[in-house]
Chain A
Amino acid sequence: MIRVVLPAHLRTIAKVSGEVQLAVEGQVTQRSVLDALEAQYPTLQGTIRDHVTQKRRPFVRFFACEQDLSHESPDAPLPAAVASGAEPFLVVGAIAGGRDSLRPTRRQLLATSSVGLSGPGGAQSSEAVPAGELNLPKNTPPTCRFRSPSFDVLAESKLERIGTREPVVL
Chain B
Amino acid sequence: MSSVRVLVGTKKGAFVLSSDGKRKQWDVSGPHFAGWEMYHVKGSPADPNRLYASQSSGWFGQMLQRSNDGGKTWEPVGNKFVYEGTPGTHQWYDGTPHPWEFKRVWHLEPSLTDPDTVYAGVEDAALFRSTDGGQNWKELAGLRDHETGPHWQPGAGGMCLHTILLDPADPRRIFIAISAAGAFRTDDSGQTWRPINKGLRSQYIPDPNAEVGHCVHHITQHRARPNVLFMQKHWDVMRTDNAGDSWTEVSGNLPTDFGFVIDVHAHEPDTVYVVPIKSDSEHFPLEGKLRVYRSRTGGNEWEALTNGLPQSDCYVNVLRDAMAVDSLDSCGVYFGTTGGQVYASADAGDNWAPIVRDLPAVLSVEVQTLQ
Cβ–Cβ contact A45 & B156, under 8 A:
no
Which residues 139-170 of A sit at the B interface, judged by CB distance below 8 A? 160, 162-170
Residue of A7, A51, A59 touching B58 (CB-CB under 8 A): A59
Listed in ascending order, the chain B residues whose CB lies under 8 Å from chain A are 11-12, 35-37, 56-63, 76, 79-80, 82, 103-104, 153-158, 179-180, 204-205, 215, 217, 234, 260, 279-281, 283, 317, 319-321, 363
A84: chain B residues within 8 A (beta carbon): none
A106, CB-defined interface residue at 8 Å: no
Which residues 93-144 of A sit at the B interface, judged by CB distance below 8 A? 93-94, 115, 119-121, 123-124
Query: How close is A62's CB to chain B, nearest CB, in angstroms?
Result: 13
Cβ–Cβ contact A167 & B180, under 8 A:
yes
Q: Known interface pairs A164-B157, A166-B156, A167-B157. Does A9 touch B80 (Cβ–Cβ under 8 Å)?
A: no
B205: chain A residues within 8 A (beta carbon): 170
Cβ–Cβ contact A165 & B320, under 8 A:
yes
Query: How close is B1's CB to chain A, nearest CB, in angstroms?
Result: 35
**Distance A115 CA – B76 CA, assembled complex (angstroms):** 21
Main secondary structure of the interface of B (DSSP, over half): loop
Residue of B57, B154, B317 touching A9 (CB-CB under 8 A): B57
A170: chain B residues within 8 A (beta carbon): 204-205, 280
Q: Known interface pairs A164-B156, A168-B180. Does A121 touch B79 (Cβ–Cβ under 8 Å)?
A: no
Residue of A46, A94, A160 touching B61 (CB-CB under 8 A): A46
Question: Chain B CB within 10 Å — which of A47, A52, A115, A165 has the most?
Answer: A165
A59: chain B residues within 8 A (beta carbon): 58-59
A27, CB-defined interface residue at 8 Å: no
In the complex, the chain B residue whose C-beta lies closest to that of A123 is B11
A167: chain B residues within 8 A (beta carbon): 155-157, 179-180, 215, 217, 234, 260
**Distance A13 CA – B33 CA, assembled complex (angstroms):** 9
In the complex, the chain A residue whose C-beta lies closest to that of B258 is A167
**Distance A123 CA – B281 CA, assembled complex (angstroms):** 19
Cβ–Cβ contact A168 & B58, under 8 A:
no
* Supplied contacts A93-B59, A164-B156, 6 more A-B pairs, CB within 8 Å: A45-B80, A115-B59, A119-B58, A119-B59, A163-B58, A168-B180
Q: Known interface pairs A123-B37, A167-B180. Does A93 touch B60 (Cβ–Cβ under 8 Å)?
A: yes
A160: chain B residues within 8 A (beta carbon): 58
Query: How close is A123's CB to chain B, nearest CB, in angstroms?
Result: 5
Q: Known interface pairs A164-B157, A165-B319, A168-B234. Does A120 touch B58 (Cβ–Cβ under 8 Å)?
A: yes
Q: Known interface pairs A163-B11, A167-B215. Does A9 touch B180 (Cβ–Cβ under 8 Å)?
A: no
Cβ–Cβ contact A9 & B59, under 8 A:
yes
Query: How close is B160's CB to chain A, nearest CB, in angstroms?
Result: 8
Cβ–Cβ contact A47 & B60, under 8 A:
yes
Listed in ascending order, the chain A residues whose CB lies under 8 Å from chain B are 7, 9-10, 13, 43, 45-48, 51-52, 57, 59-60, 93-94, 115, 119-121, 123-124, 160, 162-170
**Distance A115 CA – B57 CA, assembled complex (angstroms):** 11
**Distance A167 CA – B217 CA, assembled complex (angstroms):** 8
In the complex, the chain A residue whose C-beta lies closest to that of B322 is A165
What are 21 of the A-B contact pairs (CB < 8 Å)?
A7-B59, A13-B63, A45-B79, A46-B79, A46-B80, A47-B61, A52-B82, A57-B60, A57-B61, A60-B60, A94-B59, A162-B58, A163-B37, A165-B157, A165-B320, A165-B321, A166-B155, A166-B157, A167-B157, A168-B204, A170-B204
**Distance A165 CA – B156 CA, assembled complex (angstroms):** 8
Query: How close is B365's CB to chain A, nearest CB, in angstroms?
Result: 13
Cβ–Cβ contact B234 & A57, under 8 A:
no
Cβ–Cβ contact B156 & A168, under 8 A:
yes
A166: chain B residues within 8 A (beta carbon): 155-157, 283, 317
Query: How close is A156's CB to chain B, nearest CB, in angstroms?
Result: 11
B76: chain A residues within 8 A (beta carbon): 13, 43
Cβ–Cβ contact A51 & B37, under 8 A:
no
**Distance A57 CA – B79 CA, assembled complex (angstroms):** 14
**Distance A124 CA – B169 CA, assembled complex (angstroms):** 44
**Distance A166 CA – B154 CA, assembled complex (angstroms):** 11
Question: Chain A CB within 10 Å — which of B12, B59, B158 has the most?
Answer: B59
Cβ–Cβ contact A51 & B280, under 8 A:
no
Query: How close is B155's CB to chain A, nearest CB, in angstroms?
Result: 4
Cβ–Cβ contact A168 & B60, under 8 A:
no
Query: How close is A36's CB to chain B, nearest CB, in angstroms?
Result: 19
**Distance A164 CA – B319 CA, assembled complex (angstroms):** 10
B104: chain A residues within 8 A (beta carbon): 162
Cβ–Cβ contact B58 & A121, under 8 A:
yes
Nearest first, the 3 A-B pairs at minimum CB distance are A120-B58, A168-B155, A170-B204
Question: Chain B CB within 10 Å — which of A59, A60, A119, A162 has the most?
Answer: A162
